[in-house]
Amino acid sequence: MDLKGYYAYVFIIASLLTLIFLSVFPVVPVGDEELAGISPTGVHYNLSLPVGVSFSTFLALMLFFISIVIFYGTKSTFYNVLIDSSGISFVFLNYFNYYLIYETWKPEIMILPFLIEITFNGAKTLVIDLGQIVLIVILYRAYKMIRTNKS
């Protein structure tokens, strides 16, 4: 299979996986997160959307981890498409989740290499950005595939 066809399949499957993961949103165990979204200033935040997308992102990350651990190095096109598309799906959902966090709380978000610094009400936190790590793995796999197909 040529590279254009391969990546066309990857993006189609990544889109389908993203829709499947987002469709799991109604079964997310939200619990009292909606009530926990009350800030010290008295503003009520509805946390069901960021929590639901975060759960969908977690499922995409688990599919990527499981598929890369089990199928990395295989010659099967199906398994390689599964690895790349689950990674792209995770990266999209990861940054969509950060966007929803920004829209919900309006914190200051600074993207650093492999980290994201979030500042809200004077409190700072550093979060490991798995989206960047997965993106590097996907780009490395693409570079390796392009190099082997040129030869």
Residue 53 lies in a domain: yes
- For tokens 């959307």, the residue is 49
Does residue 77 belong to any structural domain of this protein? yes
pLDDT tens profile 34-84: 555 555 666 677 777 888 899 999 999 999 999 999 998 888 999 999 999
**Count of the separate structural domains present in the chain:** 1
Residue 57 lies in a domain: yes
Q: What is the pLDDT of residues 96-114, one digit of tens each?
A: 999 998 988 889 999 999 9
Tell me the C-alpha distance between 44 and 7, whole Å: 43
Is residue 147 domain-resident?
Answer: no
Confidence at residue 22, expressed as pLDDT on a 0 to 100 scale: 94
CA 122 → CA 42, 70, 75, 102, 118, distances in Å?
16, 43, 50, 15, 10
Burial of 109 (0-12, 13-18, 19+ CB in 10 A): middle
Quote the CA–CA distance of 101 and 120 in Å, as a whole number. Answer: 11
- Give residue 67's domain range: 3-106
- Residue 95 covered by a domain: yes
